[in-house]
Structure 1
């Protein structure tokens, strides 16, 4: 499912919570609690879940998923990513992007040379980081800021990157 651009990953199940079938739900939404508003959400294997947030817990939510009634069923879902149809989501504001739209874009430098492709978008708390996968080399990690990514052209399938020289290091051209 991740390759399907009509679906956007909104969260993932981190395991069971409690003994009644509730799950530990990590939300990837800008407003984390809004994940339940986009239900039903679909798993990669096609199952559909309605969601009810039970309460906020450290780093996630305790949530009840339709059809999940035991701790064992909840534990089996650990690692399951949950998707919503893109049509159900609001359009991003100017200069905002869904991670799913960035993955797969060609990354070129300011001189027009192709560097690689966006393989992942990561957020470790200090802002988004783009992983640029370069054939035959280690991935390049760059901050997703206006200074290092001055152009995002979703329709054209590319981004322009201008990372500082120390990020590029001794890469072969």
Structure 2
């Protein structure tokens, strides 16, 4: 999921109807209908605090769901989903994506924001050269990376403040970076 990262300011991107992919069913757990769950929230178990869930299956069918219960199991998560009562039904859910409305996420603390709020912002370098728009961010362990896409071209810019990411202006919809446009 889009984890909070330190930044300047916050954004008002709690737009109604905007959905955030927070996890996915990766298989069955046990014989009583529990599912194994992959979560992109931080911490992973926070996925159980967001409600309602919108489940989207491989065909694109969606349903809203309340009443999910879950727990940490070893290094993973398991969940009890209402109406899923045996292993076959749980296994049939493999690949089902779990979404929540953006408005279900807590407001970021002052000076923090969610990665999802950066997606779509214009990226320009300190000289004003347009480098594209934020496609997504990912973690590498050493530092996070911002991916700016301009047509078929992708630029991977270390999300290191203030060395490479010098400013984030949500009102203008722009991120300024200290980055060579030819790189």
Q: More displaced, 107-116 or 143-152?
A: 143-152
Partner Cα separation in structure 1 for residue 115 and residue 64 of structure 2 = 22
1:14 to 8, 26, 49: 26
Check whether the contact 1:10–1:83 (CA below 8 A) recurs between aligned residues.
Answer: yes
Q: Where does structure 1 differ by over 3 angstroms across 4 or more consecutive aligned residues?
A: 124-127
Check whether the contact 1:5–1:100 (CA below 8 A) recurs between aligned residues.
Answer: no
Which digits, 9 at most, give the CA deviation of each residue in 1:34-67, with x for residues without a partner? 2212132112332123321133332x31111222
Q: More displaced, 90-99 or 111-120?
A: 90-99
Partner Cα separation in structure 2 for residue 124 and residue 26 of structure 1 = 18
2:71 to 28, 48, 54: 54
Give the TM-score normalised by the residue count of structure 1.
Answer: 0.79
Gaps of 5+ in 2: 1-15
What is the number of residues matched between the two proteins?
162
Partner Cα separation in structure 2 for residue 51 and residue 81 of structure 1 = 14
1:89 to 102, 105, 108: 105
Partner of 2:158: 143
Give matches, 1:20-59, under 5 Å.
20-44=32-56, 45-49=61-65, 50-58=67-75
1:5 deviates by: 6.4
Calculate the aligned-residue CA RMSD, in Å. Answer: 2.3
Partner Cα separation in structure 2 for residue 159 and residue 136 of structure 1 = 20
1:33 deviates by: 1.7
Gaps of 5+ in 1: none
Partner Cα separation in structure 2 for residue 149 and residue 25 of structure 1 = 34
SS in 1 for 2:32: coil
Partner Cα separation in structure 2 for residue 95 and residue 33 of structure 1 = 24
Partner Cα separation in structure 1 for residue 86 and residue 142 of structure 2 = 37
Which digits, 9 at most, give the CA deviation of each residue in 1:114-134, with x for residues without a partner? 101111122244442211112
